[in-house]
């Protein structure tokens, strides 16, 4: 099954746009990992159209908080409907098992010893300073970290987090993750 691990960064904050809806924000950078080619693609907003063929060929989109944040935001730019593609949201799986949300950094550090290189608010500052390459590096690092956590979860059926001074496992239901689903996806581009 071909899957895309992805992450987005924004040009602005919820406070700046006066809304809690991710679709009210504007994308600055998108980064993707394609399981079929084992390659990363990172683009700025002006190159966003170049990622649609990759996304449209995916059997699943993998992210962290992607159902609530990334997919609705990316869907604002996409000429079709990305919700027709299977979604594997690691944070949603964690919340279903643990009963609460955890930051990617907390899960990644305890599970695979990886850390994010910055945070979303820093990426917004970089956008305003014109530091697009910094945002691209940060966004791609987030995808690399998310991919490591996803790979670990697929292999072990759980992820970890630090609870005080000890690590705890969070069992995840991965039984349907790698099952290819028939979708009613209407592709927007010719292949």
Give the pLDDT of residue 126: 96
Q: Which of 5, 18, 22 is nearest to 120 (CA)?
A: 22
The answer to whether 97 and 173 are in contact (CB under 8 A) is yes
DSSP β-bridge partners for residue 30: 8, 43
Burial (CB < 10 A; 0-12, 13-18, 19+), residue 13, is: exposed
Give the pLDDT of residue 162: 87
Give the pLDDT of residue 117: 62
pLDDT per residue of the chain (191 residues) written in tens, 0 to 9: 999 999 999 999 999 999 999 999 999 999 999 999 999 999 999 999 999 999 999 999 999 999 999 999 999 999 999 999 999 999 999 999 999 999 999 999 999 998 766 677 899 999 999 999 999 999 999 999 999 999 999 999 999 998 888 899 999 999 999 998 876 454 555 44
- Delineate the domains of the chain, giving CATH numbers in brackets: 3-171 (3.30.420.10)
**pTM as predicted:** 0.92
Provide CB contacts within 8 A for 52, sequence distance 6+.
78, 79, 188, 189
């Amino acid at each position: 099954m071909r899957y895309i691990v992805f992450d987005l960064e924004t040009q602005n904050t919820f406070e700046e746009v006066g809304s809690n809806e991710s679709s009210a924000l504007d994308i600055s950078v998108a980064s993707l990992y394609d399981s079929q080619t084992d390659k990363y693609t990172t683009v700025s907003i002006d190159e966003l159209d170049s990622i649609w063929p990759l996304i449209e060929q995916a059997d699943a989109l993998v992210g962290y908080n992607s159902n609530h944040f990334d997919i609705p935001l990316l869907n604002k730019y996409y000429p079709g409907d990305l919700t027709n593609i299977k979604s594997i949201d690691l944070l949603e799986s964690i919340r279903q098992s643990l009963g609460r949300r955890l930051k990617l950094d907390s899960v990644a550090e305890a599970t695979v010893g990886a850390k994010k290189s910055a945070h979303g608010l820093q990426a917004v500052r970089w956008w305003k300073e014109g530091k697009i390459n910094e945002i691209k590096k940060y966004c791609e690092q987030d995808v690399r970290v998310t991919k490591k956590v996803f790979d670990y979860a697929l292999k072990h059926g759980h992820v970890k987090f630090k609870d005080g001074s000890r690590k705890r496992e969070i069992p995840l239901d991965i039984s349907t993750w790698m099952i290819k689903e028939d979708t009613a996806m209407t592709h927007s581009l010719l292949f």
